[in-house]
Chain A
Amino acid sequence: MTTVHADIDALKGLHEAMVRFRYAQREVTERGGDEIELTRASLAAKASHWQARLEQDRAELEACRASGGEEAAPDCSAYARAVEQTGERLELIRRWQQRVEVEADEFRGTAGAFGDLLDSGLPRAETQLLALITSLEAARRVQASGS
């Protein structure tokens, strides 16, 4: 049997720190998941807003073009610029949506493995440490009663 040389209070401190760490990091993982959903929702709302704006801009451009008489075409360049700018904004949002999805998918693998560690690996370590503390305390009691 291996002889254990350890300070019981220090091991208890480590055990308590591991338990606190597990709960705190579980909350961190939940907040990380919340951030993914918040960002997806925010970008979706922006995409929806600018999609509606693009449709409105296009309708205004068409109305401008239709307003011209036979003599001279109306100047609809401001409407055309608005359509172009809104389209660019919408495209940028969609590119960010794609990037967020890709990176969130990659992250889920790492987060899943870490969640498994918090759910099973860390409790196993805590159990082992607690058993060690219990055996040390029992040994100290035997020593104390024999002295």
Chain B
Amino acid sequence: MPARPDRDGDEQLRLLGAAWEEAARHWQDEVARQFEADHWTPLVEQSRGYLEALRSLLDTFEAAERDTEF
């Protein structure tokens, strides 16, 4: 049974976060701070928001299927 897409999305976000952590260990100048503010933080926040909305929607779908199996 394939994993739910929200869980795959969580895993992809975790992998990207690990790559960011690795880069941030070696990249600590003003350009890095600007990149973090302009791109990284909005990317993570919007990704989390989307994945949370997807998780909630898929939970509803699963409940709908369960509740209408007679």
Contacts and interface: CB of A to CB of B under 8 A. Distances in A.
Interface of A: 2-7, 10-11, 13-14, 16-18, 20-21, 24-25, 27-29, 31-32, 35-36, 39, 42-43, 46, 50, 89, 92-93, 96, 99-100, 103-104, 106-107, 110-111, 113-114, 117, 121-122, 124-125, 128-129, 132
B36 to A, nearest CB: 11
Interface in B1-59: 5-6, 8-9, 12-13, 15-16, 18-20, 22-23, 25-32, 35, 38-40, 42-43, 46-47, 49-50, 53-54, 56-58
Contacts, number: 135
B22 A35 contact: no
Interface of B: 5-6, 8-9, 12-13, 15-16, 18-20, 22-23, 25-32, 35, 38-40, 42-43, 46-47, 49-50, 53-54, 56-58, 60-61, 64-65, 67-68, 70
Chain A interface secondary structure, helix, strand, loop or mixed? helix
B16 to A, nearest CB: 4
A21 B60 contact: no
